[in-house]
């Protein structure tokens, strides 16, 4: 004989009241953002005494100009360009070396296979 009987039916839950009694539900999006503080503004950070903000996909100095020397900035840009070119050249060299290695490995395997075939052929003749 079952413990709870044949028909077990829990009490039905009462229907819910209105989802929200707040008037924020009826406000338009811009008003809600202001009321709830969802307008974060532009991200900003302070790095080595330089205050930067993120605008149009780039970090820009809040003072509007770079506080360092313009010649230093040009030198750094030129050095960056040189390093990028060197990096591209090195990547190309690595690709060429990998191609050469794979070609040499394939030739080596073919030569080993031919050598094995010649050994087997010479053993059959003896």
Structure tokens at 84: 């990028």
Are residues 53 and 85 both part of a single domain? Answer: no
Mean pLDDT of the chain: 81
Predicted confidence band at 13 (pLDDT cuts at 50, 70, 90)?
Answer: confident
> Does residue 29 lie within any of the structural domains?
yes
Task: Give yes or no: residues 83 and 114 share one domain.
Answer: yes
30 band by pLDDT with thresholds 50, 70 and 90: confident
User: Contact 44/52 with Cβ under 8 angstroms?
Assistant: yes
Whether residue 58 is found in the same domain as residue 31:
yes
Same domain as 56, residue 104: no
What are the structure tokens assigned to 58, written together? Answer: 């780039």
Are residues 86 and 40 located together in one domain of the fold?
no
CB 52 within 8 A of CB 60: yes
How many structural domains comprise the chain? 2
> What pLDDT shows up at residue 3?
60
In a domain, 9, yes or no: no
Query: pLDDT at position 113, please?
Result: 96
**Residue ranges making up the domain that contains 34:** 25-63
The answer on 70 and 58 residing in a single domain is no
Asked if 44 and 76 sit in the same domain, the reply is no
Q: Is the pLDDT of residue 17 over 60?
A: yes
| Segment 39-54 mean pLDDT | 77
Same domain, 58 and 77: no
Q: Do 48 and 99 belong to one domain?
A: no
Q: What is the pLDDT of residue 47?
A: 75
Tokens of 110: 């073919």
| pLDDT in the model for residue 46 | 82
For 20-25, the CB contacts below 8 A with 24+ separation are none
Question: Is the pLDDT reported for residue 102 higher than 60?
Answer: yes
**Residue 2: inside a domain:** no
Domain shared by 70 and 59, yes or no: no
Beta bridge partners of 54: 59
Spatial separation of the C-alpha atoms in residues 96 and 104, rounded to whole Å:
12
What pLDDT score does 55 carry? Answer: 83
pLDDT at 101: 97
Q: Quick check: 14 pLDDT over 70?
A: yes
Distance of CA 60 to the CA centre of its chain: 23
């Amino acid at each position: 004989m079952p413990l709870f009987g044949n028909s077990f039916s829990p009490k039905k839950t009462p229907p819910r009241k209105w989802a929200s009694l707040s008037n924020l539900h009826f406000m338009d999006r811009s008003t809600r953002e202001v009321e709830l503080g969802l307008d974060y503004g532009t991200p900003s950070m302070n790095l080595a005494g330089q205050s930067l903000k993120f605008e149009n996909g780039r970090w820009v100095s809040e003072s509007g100009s770079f506080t360092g020397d313009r010649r230093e900035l040009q030198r750094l840009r030129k050095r960056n360009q040189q390093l990028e070119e060197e990096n591209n050249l090195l990547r190309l060299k690595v690709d060429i070396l990998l191609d050469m290695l794979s070609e040499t490995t394939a030739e080596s395997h073919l030569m080993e296979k031919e050598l094995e075939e010649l050994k087997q052929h010479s053993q059959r003749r003896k």
